[in-house]
Amino acid sequence: MNLIEAALYVAGRPLDLNMLSSISKVKSERNLQNLLSILMKKYNDLDGPIQILKLQDERYVMQLKPEYCKYVKKLSNRPLLKKAPLKTLSFIAFRQPITQAYIAQIRGSNTYKHIKILREMGLIEEKKSGRTKILRTTSNFSDYFNLSRDIKTMKKQLEKIFEQIS
């Protein structure tokens, strides 16, 4: 169980059962899930600022509880993205698959710079389609923002987030 806890702490992103199995050397999926349940309960019972969550696609993540984020965010490293590229990323995530031309039409010509940054960071991928490109988020995007890799589920999760901040 200590190896599972250490892996979740160090990774800083969701880990799937295969990865946790290889690190912990627990071969039985059932035993691994039991250990994860015990670990999740342990953190829940502590009632501290850290939690372990099971995501919908059988991945697990250790993270700060949302109610603590606003108090300690200034202590974290610089933000992943500035506001404008982050808006472009959220637009892509919510509307994907989407053409680069359509994004530029809606968000403006600076979008091309944003797309380049997002692609270099591994948050989006592109596929050539005629004179434009089709854009989608990557699994790195899902992992970083603790979202499902399933597009329909991800869009529902994003919708809830957008409702909360509106």
Residues 6+ apart with CB under 8 A from 94: 155, 158, 159, 162
Question: What is the per-residue pLDDT for 77?
Answer: 66
Assess whether the region 2-74 and the region 83-165 belong to the same CATH fold. Answer: yes
Interatomic CA distance for residues 31 and 148, integer angstroms:
24
CATH 3.30.565.10 fits 2-74, yes or no: no
Mean pLDDT of the chain: 89
User: What is d(CA 30, CA 33) in angstroms, rounded to the nearest whole number?
Assistant: 5
Q: What is the pLDDT of residue 13?
A: 82
Which pair of structure tokens corresponds to residue 138? 């990557």
- CATH class in words for 83-165: mainly alpha
Domain boundaries, the chain: 2-74, 83-165
Given a cut of 90, is residue 112 above it in pLDDT?
A: yes
Q: What is the pLDDT of residue 2?
A: 94
Return the structure tokens found at 10. 């160090």
Do the beta carbons of residue 49 and residue 68 sit within 8 Å?
A: yes
User: pLDDT digits over 19-61, tens only?
Assistant: 999 999 999 999 999 999 999 999 999 989 999 999 877 889 9
> Who wins on pLDDT, 3 or 145?
3
User: What is the structure's pLDDT at 124?
Assistant: 95
**Distance of alpha carbon 112 from alpha carbon 146, whole angstroms:** 26
**pTM for this one?**
0.62
Mean pLDDT of 130-143: 90
